Amino acid sequence: MSEVLQIIQKFTRKDSIGTSSAQSAAFTPTSTGIIRVTNDSVQGGYVEISGNPTATTSSVFLGSGLSNTTVTSGGTSTALLSVKPKRSTVSACSKVNGQPVITLSTDREGNPFRVGDYMTMTGASVGGYNTAIAHILIAAQNTTTVTCTATVDTSGLSDFAGTAVLRTSYKVAGITAAGTMTLNLQEVAVTG
């Protein structure tokens, strides 16, 4: 029986990656955390995934779309990178000195987030939080709350009690030895 990769969601394509590490737009895996990175360029390179990645020549090698260095299909070179999607329901959001303090719902066991994770909020009743808390570094956390870095100023937003969703978010960085490459990013599931 052969295994098939089922696309769960597509993320923004990253064009023109060259000899300096360049990051994709932030994305939020919602399911498996298996990120398929494809390169359909003639130039191979290296890729790295994290909240704030820097690709180096020690990162995962991704061959050109014309090579057989990794899994190759139809002129596209592919690497599968894995992250651990974290998610929690938000029950409230307040501020300390303009910095958001997010209270998590107690319907789950513990706080899945850690200092150093990047997070994105969706579904907040005060919509400004959905914009302000988009791929933001967690500066502090305890069993029921997370606090954003001081660079996030929500002093002009009202506090809210209600529901929203907080998820970890990531970026992929790429670098080449010469020339440029283009990366396509998808969250996939292995089926079959």
Give the start-to-end residue ranges of the domains of the chain: 4-83+171-191, 87-168
**Quick check: helix, strand or coil at residue 172?**
strand
Q: Which H, E and C letters describe 46-80, residue by residue?
A: EEEEECCCCCCCCCEEECCCCCCCCEEECCEEEEE
Model confidence at 66: pLDDT above 70: no
pLDDT score for 192:
74
* Superfamily for the 87-168 domain: Ubiquitin-activating enzyme E1, FCCH domain (2.40.30.180)
Average pLDDT, the chain: 87
Cα separation, 44 vs 40, in Å, equals: 9
20 confidence band (pLDDT: 50, 70, 90): very high
Structure tokens at 142: 């305890």
70 confidence band (pLDDT: 50, 70, 90): very low
Task: Give the mean model confidence (pLDDT) for residues 82-92.
Answer: 92
**Quick check: helix, strand or coil at residue 88?**
strand
**What residue type is 148 in one-letter code?**
C
pLDDT > 90: what percent of the chain? 59
pTM: 0.88
